[in-house]
Amino acid sequence: MTDGPTYGFDTLQIHAGARPDPATGARQVPIYQTTAYVFRDADHAAALFNLQEVGYIYSRLTNPTIGALQERIATLEGGVGAVCCSSGHAAQIMALFPLMEPGRNIVASTRLYGGTVTQFSQTIRRFGWSAKFVDFDDADAVAAAIDDDTRAIFCETIANPGGHITDLPKIAAVGDAAGIPLIVDNTSATPYLCRPIEHGATLVVHSTTKYLTGNGTVTGGCVVDSGKFDWAANDKFPSLSQPEPAYHGMKFAETFGPLAFTFHGIAIGLRDLGMTMNPQAAHYTLMGIETLSLRMDRHVENARKVATWLEEDPRTEYVTYAGLESSPYFGLVDKICPRGAGALFTVAVKGGYDACIKLVDSLEIFSHVANLGDARSLIIHSASTTHRQLTAEQQEAAGAGPGIVRLSIGIEDADDIIADLDQALAKATS
């Protein structure tokens, strides 16, 4: 896409980052399945390695197929740049890597995917980092948790597993007051339902494995840079504001301005961490994004119907879907996700743990998998799977207690989805 008209989302999801291949005229983005790229001459190679010229060196760093995907996601999110990587978990580490040092911490929501809670509470400690978990419904508690060593705030737009919606402007204001960035995982919402940068987010991360690809075929992650944070405003982020020894003392913030974080993510993050997305995965995700708005509209429509039916069913105790008027987050939907509350939520089944297990085993259309955002309807009992590593208290805080199942509503016929749940609930609660 070129500068000029302001295009709508449906147009951008097809055209952003995609140009006819200059060598062949191929209209779809080719899969550039290559390890390395031939330099024009020695001076060209030196300029690339010195970051004086943008181009391709080695596919651990940059690749044309992945580059097209980065441009498309950044455009849809309203960012200045993006870095794609091998998974959503990789994207989280990539987002934190330029910000953190030993002894530093982040303030994170208690309502996060179980694997993220484990990554933040256990794994990052090996880097000398730590996380403080806070209920993000209480912005004052978030502010109180920030100290001199805090370097980021982290939350999800639509929380996994419960579908709770975060009041992003409130949390962003806390980050602004403290001079630290807000990182938002937008996986469950996608940029079609919410653009966190417009609500004050500094960085947006995705597991592209989920709704962006939409078909359960490949894993991937992405970090989107808003370009709006001044990394040199204080001394908290030396990786971005101070001289970088590996590039002869160059300062990323000074040299690249709004794109400092993006260039650091490629030139140092991918170079040294090696969390590279493969070009075939990027190709699948590019194709998936072409139908993102169509799929999300159907996901939301189906989720609303299914959640309403489940809430009225006497075999359930409650449903956490934010699109229901009974939800405490219903008032945030129009503000944060005006196109709908997504398609992810939990259901408390009467009969507790045993009933949940029977329900999962009795479904026919639903797939029992550790994934979400597929075109297919998916279910999982989080307490015995994705959140199994957490304590009972952490499970309850995350909305993943033993009597709860998580549903990711697909794009099948809504009546068929409801019929499948009906017959399975009959077996589970008999």
Q: What pLDDT, in 10s, does the model give residues 181-230?
A: 999 999 999 999 999 999 999 999 999 999 999 999 999 999 999 999 99
Distance in angstroms (rounded) separating the CA atoms of residues 36 and 27:
23
For residue 150, give the H/E element and its range. Answer: strand 150-156
H or E, element range at 367: strand 367-368
CA neighbor of 421 nearest in space, from 350, 339, 365? 365
Residue 66 gets the label, from left (phi > 0), alpha (psi -120 to 50) or beta, of alpha
CA distances from 191 to 152, 221, 237, 332 (A): 21, 14, 27, 16
Give, in degrees to the nearest 5, the angle at Cα 359 between 355 and 364: 170
**Spatial distance between the Cα atoms of 303 and 423, rounded to a whole number of angstroms:** 18
Among candidate residues 333, 342, 360, the one with its CA nearest the CA of residue 296: 342
Domains along the chain with CATH numbers: 17-288 (3.40.640.10), 292-428 (3.90.1150.10)
Give the pTM. 0.95
Structure-block tokens of residue 98: 């330029």
| pLDDT digit string (tens) for the chain, length 430 residues | 545 568 999 999 999 999 898 889 999 999 999 999 999 999 999 999 999 999 999 999 999 999 999 999 999 999 999 999 999 999 999 999 999 999 999 999 999 998 999 999 999 999 999 999 999 999 999 999 999 999 999 999 999 989 999 999 999 999 999 999 999 999 999 999 999 999 999 999 999 999 999 999 999 999 999 999 999 999 999 999 999 999 999 999 999 999 999 999 999 999 999 999 999 999 999 999 999 999 999 999 999 999 999 999 999 999 999 999 999 999 999 999 999 999 999 999 999 999 999 999 999 999 999 999 999 999 999 888 777 777 778 777 777 788 999 999 999 999 999 999 999 999 999 8
pLDDT tens digits, one per residue of 36-81: 999 999 999 999 999 999 999 999 999 999 999 999 999 999 999 9
Inter-CA distances, 224 with 54, 67, 187, 319, Å: 18, 13, 12, 32
Residues 277, 192, 407, 378, CA torsion sign: negative
